[in-house]
Chain A
């Protein structure tokens, strides 16, 4: 999952980004002013936007309205130093999904970020299940047919993204966009290598096929086709 943090207090942005990278294994981009934030948000490759209110260039509420007016449904978590109900109501009514008042708890921020991403994907349960595959987003653990599958952080991120979009072909480009931040040097064959490792680990447990490669189009989980859902 990839998160955009728009916050002009650089140290705070750094800490939030580090926490999101270390904790739930997200890719994080930071913007220090509203205009850069809007520019990045318009790429629409984010699964969550964390937005400060007082920003140079363009303030948080204006950015939020702009993003929403373009039909962007990315969940938005507001960081605010104001705690008056009126300003919070105005923000939620302007299209924000949740808010945290400064100073906040990093653990709470991570939990809310995860919940917002989950909801954004239309899922309520933090444990995602698809046929015999089970992904626990809290523990970041994966089981297939009840057996624990040991994955690297990147492999887990790919699988988490795929299981959020069952029966859909996810392109390599989409995976790159949602799993890596801007600082990462893009090498598309890295994805292929990770997919191959992931497939091997998932199939080791049951000997059943797991991920299908559709040449030139992308990847798709094979679980979930057998049941009637």
Chain B
């Protein structure tokens, strides 16, 4: 689509409409003026023809004929006329006319006809008149019928009509020009807040998210929704952009460190001549470093996937079943550490979470508890339904988390107590993944901890209103 300007289109539309109006006014003026002026012209023409009848006199001859006394009438020189009697004898005619055409001869009496003489246009009529020759005191006399053809040129009338139409046309065209300029100015003024808003919005970039809409933009009814939408979108974009940037920077830092570990492990082996056992041990350690790097990368990808919100809901999943399954998976590990995992989950508690992510969440929380519990202690996992809230609480009697670390435990790559990271080989991503999963499915995650007493993680989700995924499968089968 070609780029265009709303201002220009509006102005063009309005000017076009105005032009149409001007043309209509001029046309109407033409019709009206023509009607009015020709009516008065016709009255005048009849009057002149009648006055010509008055100039027909008794010829005072033997046959009692009539004659035209040219001295009695005062007619414009450009008019044409001819007077004849009933016998067709021409009593007189104007010098510039040789006689009426057949149109005029046959036309109805008094009807206006168009006549062309020597290239000049006339409007002409025929009237019949009666002149009484020698009228006596008691009536009588000889009646003589005369026919008068009379015409006057129309170019004057047309000139007057065109003048009037021209006046209307010029007036409306100049009004059009003035209103065009006025509209242009007003539109420009009226669109200024939009331009200001656009200028402000164009100043936004990945390096500068600062967007302060001009105060006028908020006050304008048409612009307010756009302003608010822009603000909301930009705030959202900035947030996610900064989050992504931080994630990339954190990930780069973490990977560089992981590579640094691996590289230093390998270089240490080759630093000097060593025994075969030393080499073997060096390679084993390097492999462990590799494995840790792999875990970090895998977890980063998991986190990115959860945060991308790309996995759609698959229906309701049973939270109780998920925690039971996960605790079974960790059974051997718990036994090895002489730990007991108590699952208190009576009846299904359905939540709208993608099953794999729910397993991941439960798994991460349980693993954390297992890793930080002293041998011989118990871990309690409790699932409850409180009205429309599903709750999962995982509690351990482990070493706990220091108060200053507690607000940061869900941050990516945060490792509070260094001994935690050393003991567990943690990537600092486990709880960040839990938090991301909770947020993704409209849930919350909270942590409470007392140093040396234990830690309790509470996860809450809205109870599902969807049919369970397993039931749907059963129906399909």
Contact = CB atoms under 8 A, between A and B. Distances in A.
B261 A9 contact: yes
Interface of A: 8-12, 15-16, 18-19, 22-23, 32-33, 54, 56, 79, 81-82, 101-107
A11 B271 contact: no
Given A10-B421, A15-B264, A79-B260, 20 more contacts: A8-B421, A10-B418, A11-B289, A12-B257, A12-B264, A15-B267, A18-B268, A19-B264, A19-B267, A19-B271, A22-B271, A22-B272, A54-B253, A56-B416, A81-B256, A81-B257, A101-B256, A102-B256, A106-B264, A107-B271
B421 A15 contact: no
Contacts of B44: none
Contact of A15 (B252, B257, B268, B419): B268
Contacts of B421: 8, 10
Closest 4 CB pairs of A and B: A103-B260, A102-B260, A15-B264, A32-B418
Contact of A56 (B253, B265, B415): B415
Interface in B242-274: 252-253, 256-257, 259-265, 267-268, 271-272
Contacts of A16: 264
Contact of B418 (A33, A82, A102): A33
Interface of B: 252-253, 256-257, 259-265, 267-268, 271-272, 285, 289, 292, 405, 415-419, 421-422
13 contacts: A9-B261, A10-B418, A11-B265, A19-B271, A22-B268, A32-B419, A81-B257, A81-B260, A102-B256, A102-B259, A105-B267, A106-B264, A106-B271
B267 A56 contact: no
Contacts of A9: 257, 260-261
Contacts of B405: 56
Contacts of A18: 268
Contacts of B264: 12, 15-16, 19, 103-104, 106
Contacts of A81: 252-253, 256-257, 260
A90 B415 CA distance: 25
A34 to B, nearest CB: 10
Contacts of A104: 260, 263-264
A54 B413 CA distance: 11
Contact of B268 (A32, A33, A101, A106): A106
B256 A8 contact: no
Nearest to B418: A32
Contacts of A56: 405, 415-418
